[in-house]
Chains A and B, each alone.
Chain A
Amino acid sequence: MIESHLPAYIALTFVLFSVLIPAFGLWRSELSQPLAVLGSGIAAAFSVYGFINYLNEGSIRYFFGGWEPPVGIEFVYDGLAGFFVLVINVVSFFVLIHSHHIAKREFPGKEMPYYALAMLMMLGFNGMILTGDLFNLYVFLEIASLSGYALIAIGEKQAPYAAFRYLIIGTAGGTLYLLGVGFLYTVTGTLNIIDMAAMLPMLYESNAVFAALILMIVGIGVKAALFPMHGWLPDSYTYASSVSTALIAPIGTKVAAYILFRVILWLFGLEITDAIAPLSYIVGVLACIGILYGSIMAIAQTEMKRMLAYSSVSQIGYIIMGLSLANPWGFAGALLHVLNHAIMKACLFMISGQMRLKEGHSDISRFDDSYRKKYPWTMASFSIAAISMIGLPPLAGFFSKWYLALGTIDNSNWLFLAVILISSLLNAVYFFRVLEKVYMMDPDKGQKEPKDGERNEPSASMLWPTGILAVSLIVIGFANAVIVGILLNIFPM
């Protein structure tokens, strides 16, 4: 019974908790975080259950109010949506557990609005993924974006300006997307994705469709931080509060990437996408430039959050490159990377938050070997996540690169293959730099005084989430054949 309403339940959970948190939070502010964890925990449980159900029973189409499309609005819980919902809800569950102490320290007294907004943003993200209607998607996009702007503005002194810049460019992107939807509506008369996908082949080589596609790619590209529309990301992620960054960075750009998947592979299909100009290849080239640009900029940073932010620009490039390859291996690699990168980036951003909590900074140049003594488990998690980012087997990060490499070879796309390899090296440069700082004494300064080296691990609510995410990277590495087997079945062509 629960299955048939499942897509709605996931979204409704977040609606419910975004109301409950202010209600209880006004009474007792310290209740907000447990409630947020509970809410995202329930949603995560639904997502896990839903995905298992998808594997056994297949997709679910949920018609709101019983109105069938194209009249009504539907939620579509198919493989792609189920996978993304699973990833973002599980990862954000861990991030929210982790956020307790850091939120208390970084913006005391504002926990209630923070967690309420976080629930709203998760509602937006889940709605974007689940909805089967292009305009509905726009509304959820704006819900997620508006709460995201607010979340980013909670932070350092520069945060509001970073958030404002994001707001301007993000809203402009959203508006362009809406214009694209308008074009499509004009030529097809429907907003339902499945309905429209059936009609678009009749409009092969239509200029309106082509213009709509470009508008949508540009609009969503802004949200996905696709090069050259990534400008908002580094500042936003750097200046936002550590908890906001940890929540938004792993999933925000992924959801935008999801829309690109949905639009290019499901709605238009590769043939229409490439009918007038080789758009998928252009998107892939942009992704490649983004990969290299992000990696090089990351090397130039000394502030850990900023480095990770640029690394995000680079990593989203992998996902979009996999999409642009549009073959099964590239697709599986990209989706696997969605999962891996969400886990790795969540883990790394959470650790940067811990550093800010414990040390008051996250400046890599000030890291030294006393950290290894003070935070042995944190640093172990960091090392695993970092090595996975570099892409050494058997950690999860290696396998997404492996499948992407297979995808590029299947398309005989040597340029993309070279980019994957080079950027792995660049990743190694900026992550080993941190590891070197943490695990080795500075040859110029010598060993630190032992009193610096007392164990000072953060509390269990932070240690466990990072640890579990790090261990899951190893598990995913060994279990990736199963995951990829599922992902290959999702591939639409």
Chain B
Amino acid sequence: MLDFFLGHYAYWFTIILLCIGVYGILFKKNLIKKTIGLAILQISVVLYFVSIASKWDATVPVLNPDFPADQVANYLNPLPHTLMLTAIVVGVATLGVAFTLLLAIYNRYETLDEEELIEKLQ
């Protein structure tokens, strides 16, 4: 049982982060905090991808004369990591757009609290 938890600790870590992110999105009233929750959610998925490709005692996937190409166990799978570079860029862009929108909201309503905002909208 313990092995199940310890053996997958990276996944549990991801799941906890994911839950924190979802919690932030759903229950935080401040729009900035919601945005932070969103960022945590994205990061949790990024970490998941990174963790699935990590390997002990392996090297970067550049052909090393010490390890022939058929000994795949000695090389990392680079693909998830590179994918996540893109995903991080997407996440940054999303945050950029989110903060731009928040600026626009703040300029118009002078608040970022969701409840106040809904009151002012009506």
Contact = CB atoms under 8 A, between A and B. Distances in A.
Do the two chains touch directly in the complex (Cβ atoms below 8 Å apart)?
Answer: yes
A175 B22 CA distance: 11
Contact of B90 (A139, A149, A153): A139
Given A135-B83, A139-B86, A142-B93, A179 B45 contact: yes
A409 interface: no
A178 interface: yes
Contacts, number: 71
A107 interface: no
B108 interface: yes
B42 interface: yes
Nearest to A135: B83
Contacts of A161: 101, 105, 109, 117, 121
B105 A142 contact: no
Interface in B66-105: 79-80, 83, 86-87, 90, 93-94, 97-98, 100-102, 104-105
Given A161-B121, A168-B34, A182 B45 contact: yes
B48 A179 contact: yes
A221 B61 CA distance: 37
A158 B94 contact: no
Given A160-B108, A164-B105, A168-B35, A149 B97 contact: yes
A142 B42 CA distance: 13
B121 A164 contact: no
Interface string B41-52: 110010011001
Given A142-B94, A179-B48, A182-B48, A163 B101 contact: yes
Which among A142, A161, A163, A169 has the highest number of chain B CB atoms within 10 Å?
A161
A388 to B, nearest CB: 34
B45 A164 contact: no
Contact of B97 (A135, A146, A175): A146
A479 interface: no
Contacts of A157: 108
Given A142-B90, A142-B93, A172-B25, A164 B98 contact: yes
Given A135-B83, A182-B49, A168 B25 contact: yes
Indicate the size class of the contact surface on chain A: 20 to 34
A163 B100 CA distance: 11
B97 A168 contact: no
Contacts of A182: 45, 48-49, 52, 80
Contacts of A163: 101
A151 to B, nearest CB: 11
Interface string A25-37: 0000000000000
A207 interface: no
A167 B22 contact: no
Interface in A141-165: 142, 146, 149-150, 153, 157-158, 160-161, 163-164
A186 interface: yes
Contact of A146 (B35, B48, B94, B104): B94
A171 interface: yes
Nearest to B103: A160
Interface string B100-120: 111011001100000001000
Contacts of B25: 168-169, 172
Interface in A98-116: none
B93 to A, nearest CB: 6
A139 B90 CA distance: 7
Contacts of B42: 171, 175
A164 B83 contact: no
B1 to A, nearest CB: 18
B104 A153 contact: yes
A185 interface: yes
A178 B41 CA distance: 11
Given A157-B108, A164-B31, A178-B87, A171 B94 contact: yes
B101 A167 contact: yes
Nearest to A147: B97
A428 B22 CA distance: 40
A164 B102 contact: yes
B97 A150 contact: yes
Interface in A326-375: none
A172 B101 contact: no
A52 to B, nearest CB: 34
Contact of A167 (B18, B48, B98, B108): B98
A44 B97 CA distance: 29
Contacts of B102: 164
A187 to B, nearest CB: 10
B105 A175 contact: no
Given A149-B97, A153-B104, A160-B108, 16 more contacts: A135-B83, A138-B87, A142-B90, A146-B93, A149-B101, A153-B100, A157-B108, A158-B121, A160-B101, A161-B101, A167-B94, A172-B41, A175-B45, A178-B87, A179-B45, A182-B52
11 contacts: A135-B83, A138-B90, A157-B108, A160-B101, A164-B101, A164-B105, A167-B94, A167-B101, A169-B25, A178-B87, A185-B80
- What are the 10 A-B residue pairs with the smallest beta carbon separation, nearest first? A160-B104, A164-B101, A142-B90, A160-B105, A160-B101, A179-B45, A171-B94, A175-B42, A178-B45, A186-B52
Interface of B: 18, 22, 25, 31, 34-35, 38, 41-42, 45, 48-49, 52, 79-80, 83, 86-87, 90, 93-94, 97-98, 100-102, 104-105, 108-109, 117, 121
